């Protein structure tokens, strides 16, 4: 099975705001764990989620892991992404589109928060 990863963020009109996800996609790609990794966006930036899914299939994926780069399970995570998953699965019935858990309150999140707080304190001194 060829597995692709589609990182999904909200998207912004500001290109710099979208660059973090593109950078993360590159870093994940560089690990060599997945042959194809793409950043995609819910709105305001491209590729869109459907475009990203099509790119993954076009690259030969028969499984696409949809990873929401969201901290909270709001409407986008709960409703919109499930809808996109269903639409892509209907468009490509031979491809498995798996919606992964959003980032949320993962156990490592506290370490990230503590590190950012420490960085903020150091900058203020």
pTM as predicted: 0.91
CATH number at residue 107: 3.40.50.1400
- Rounded to whole angstroms, the Cα distance separating 61 from 78 reads 25
Q: How high does pLDDT run on average in the chain? A: 94
How much of the chain is helix, strand and coil, in % rounded to 5? 45, 20, 35
20-29, 32-41, 72-81: least confident range: 72-81
CA dihedral 86, 27, 55, 63 (to 10 degrees): -50
Q: What per-residue confidence (pLDDT) applies to 54?
A: 98
What is the count of structural domains for the chain?
A: 1
pLDDT tens sequence across 53-112: 999 999 999 999 999 999 888 887 878 999 999 999 999 999 999 999 999 889 999 999
Q: What per-residue confidence (pLDDT) applies to 75?
A: 82
Domain that holds residue 49: 3-123
């Amino acid at each position: 099975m060829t597995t692709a990863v589609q990182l999904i963020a909200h998207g912004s009109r500001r290109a710099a705001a979208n660059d973090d996800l593109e950078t993360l996609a590159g870093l994940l790609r560089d690990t060599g764990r997945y042959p194809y990794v793409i950043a995609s966006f819910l709105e305001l930036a491209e590729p869109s989620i459907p475009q990203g899914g099509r790119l993954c299939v076009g690259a030969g994926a028969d499984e696409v892991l949809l990873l929401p780069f969201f901290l909270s399970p709001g409407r986008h995570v709960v409703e919109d992404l499930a809808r996109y998953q269903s639409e892509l699965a209907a468009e490509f019935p031979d491809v498995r589109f798996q919606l992964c858990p959003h980032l949320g309150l993962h156990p490592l999140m506290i370490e990230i928060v503590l590190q950012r707080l420490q960085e903020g304190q150091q900058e203020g001194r």
